[in-house]
Amino acid sequence: MVNTLRSRVEAAGAQLAFGLPRPVRRLIAGRPIQVDGQVLSLDAQLLLRLQQFSGVAMSKRTPELARQVLARSHHLVSGAPIEPVGKRELTIPDDNGGIPATLYTPQGLPGNSGLLVFYHGGGWVIGTRESHDNAARFFAKYAGVRVLSIEYRLAPEHPFPAAADDAVTAFEFAYAKAQDLGAAPDRIAVGGDSAGGNLAAVAAQVMTGRGGPAPAFQLLLYPGVDASTRRRSRELFGSGFFLTDADMTWFIDHYAPTGTDRTDPRLSPLLTEDFSGLPPAYIATAGFDPLRDEGEAYGEKLRAAGVPVAVSRQADLIHGYVNFLGIGRRFREATAEAAGALRLGLSGLK
């Protein structure tokens, strides 16, 4: 990404806004917002106000333009690269020309460590390893694991089930090549945010259903897990809270166009019949997120099947918060909780 003068000015402006005294930030953000018994954090409300000024809306753009906007803008909120974390580029072999991936290794981490196979968010249409670079770095450093970030195929060029297939292939590769990656094969987690959380859940289900090898842990951050049903949270938070109802329709129509069976568990993993035997999970939802209710329903089904699961609602936050590590404090706090869950989830596995 070319870091233009405009981009640098915009980034400086965002930092300035979040560095202002709290009363001034509150004045810019407006009066506190309360919905469904939840109060939106000042950091999230200020970010939404800045988004209103920018006029960014995925559903009003073509996929190509939406990707260009993300490439130019993600650094505004992601922050300076988290160090010291090493990076190594590699390619996962498959039948479609290979899946690009990046291996992140925090400084001083010994071999035979835990590893997170990470799938970025972006509605299966936008998002890249680069857009989620700092999120991957954060989990590597603060969970004390290696992170293998995956560049799965995007829609509409590659509609469902291409991304799901790539997610499974990536886990199979990580398990088979664990020693080469510096990881222990029985300490490999799958995880991701939003659409990436969907792919992580799908990979865990597919591998478990085959009888293994299966992931040791699932890190599901505000995942989309049911493309077949509109839940209450989508009605409550479908406008004005970063991810909109129109955005969700735009994303799913590109990934699973008309004629796709949206009840297929590889698209809607909440609808799978058998949850028994799935790996332990940490599921984070955001209170002001249209996806909130389906993520929590996924946790309920895991729990009912006897799967160890922690469901943590970040009641004052919006969708996408792991990408906002460079501004305010609240987004980083919530992401730190997820990193702690990942560390704990892999720590007792030998």
Q: Which residues are catalytic?
A: 194, 289, 319
Q: Per DSSP, what are the bridge partners of residue 293?
A: none
- Quick one: which of 289, 231, 223, 333 has its CA closest to 38? 289
Q: Are 234 and 110 in contact (CB under 8 A)?
A: no
Residue type, 110: P
Q: Judging by DSSP bridges, how do beta strands 309-318 and 281-288 pair with one another?
A: parallel
CA contacts within 13 A on the Cβ side of 348: 5
C-alpha separations of 89 from 56, 116, 142, 165, 249 in Å: 31, 16, 21, 21, 33
Residue 155: left if φ>0, alpha if ψ -120 to 50, beta else—which one?
Answer: beta
Cα separation, 249 vs 246, whole angstroms: 5
Cα separation, 81 vs 75, whole angstroms: 10
Residue type, 71: A
Structure tokens given for 62: 């073509």
What Rg do the C-alpha atoms of the chain give, in angstroms? 19
